[in-house]
Structure 1
Amino acid sequence: MGCCSGRCALIFLCTFQLVTALERQVFDFLGYQWVPILATFVHIVVVILGLFGTIQYRPRYIVVYAVWAAAWITWNIFIICFYLEVGGLSKDSKLLTFNLSRHRSWWREHGPGCLREEPAAGLGPLDSQAPVPAIGCTLEHGYVEALHSTLQILVALLGFICACYVVSVFTEEEDSCLRK
């Protein structure tokens, strides 16, 4: 295979997916978003598996990656619907935190252009788990989360298509070797 093959493209896409997934994982940890943390962790493991399968010419691993890419696209569509409050979903629910904390998206308090209101000192006990409200955000946190998910969908879709192509090339090469 040449350098500009589907295999090289899949290696690039998997690497890019790892970088974007790690970035997303950091912000989910900062917001104590436990369900997305678990989903992104599984995503990172499967992308590494797909990367390994691509480098080592293992079509079965690439098929696992392709199936996961379809599931990942579905998950991110759900996240977009959740943050844009489509179909009765509410971004203010505790669905993504397993009801363990009052935290929400990290972007809610730290979004682009947001000004944080610090609570006045000495007005009573402060709850360290309570989110601090932000005002004047340039971009609402739901849109930031939706943009993150849109990027994940686009990369996963390209990865799915590329993985299907690479698997077909690998199996074609195996078939031609068996016929000789």
Structure 2
Amino acid sequence: MGCCTGRCTLIFLCSLQLLAALERQIFDFLGFQWAPILGNFLQIIVVILGLFGTIQFRPRYIVVYTVWTALWVTWNVFIICFYLEVGGLSKETDLMTFNISMHRSWWREHGPGCIRRVVRPSSPGILEDYSYVSVTGCIIDFQYLEVIHSAIQILLSLIGFVYACYVISIFMEEEDSFDFIGGLDTYSYRQPPQEHVELKPVKPVASAAAETLMRLTHL
């Protein structure tokens, strides 16, 4: 296959997906978002598997990548619904942290243009280490940044799914044609064995002439 084929395109798409998943994993770690962290980890493993299968001509690995891509699209659709609060979901819940902590998205306080202020309460009876974080001036709200990340993942996954199916079909066709040609080489084009020809040694001309001369002298 040449460089401008579906195989090379799938390699490029898998590389982009790997970079996007790594970038998202970093910011989810900073925000202690355990559910997305687990999903990103599986995504990285499967994309590496699909990349290896594409390079090494392993259709089974690409099939695994294709099945996971459908699940990954579903997960990112759920994340979009979660942050847009569709269907009774609320972005203020601790669902993304498995209810272990009250952390929110890292982009909530560190988005573009956000100004983060820590205000300590002055009311009596409140612990001294308690503080209130005020965030103002954000150009884009954190939920829309999360939606953009998920939308990019969905776009790359859908394109990767299409090219993965195309590459699998090409690999299968090449395997079938290879077996067919091998069968022809084995049966149709087999040459019959050649008969062995028994070679007799030929006497040199000089030795034959000397033998004739000796016979004449004995006469």
TM-score range relative to shorter protein: over 0.9
Q: Which segments of 5 or more consecutive residues in structure 1 lack a partner in the other structure?
A: none
Residue identity over aligned pairs, in percent, reads 63
> Is 1:92 the counterpart of 2:87 in the alignment?
no
Larger Rg: 2
What pairs with 1:1-180 in structure 2 (closer than 5 Å)?
1-120=1-120, 124-126=127-129, 132-180=133-181
Deviations 1:146-171 (A, max 9, x none): 00000000000011001000000000
Higher relative contact order (CA 8 A, sep 6+): 1
Return the offset for 1:38. 0.3
Instruction: Mark the CA change 1:178 to 1:74 in structure 2 (over 3 Å): closer, same or farther.
Output: same
Matched-pair contact (CA < 8 Å) for 2:119–2:134: no
Aligned Cα RMSD in Å? 1.6
The one-letter amino acid of 1:149's match is S
TM-score by length of 1: 0.94
Number of aligned residue pairs: 178
CA contact (8 A) 1:103 1:131 kept: no
Distance 2:72 2:119 in 1: 39
Residues 111 and 140, structure 2, Cα contact 8 Å, conserved in 1: yes
Structure 2 unaligned residues grouped into runs of 5+: 182-219
3-state SS, counterpart of residue 4 of structure 1: coil
Q: CA deviation at 1:135?
A: 1.4
TM-score, length-normalised on structure 2?
0.78
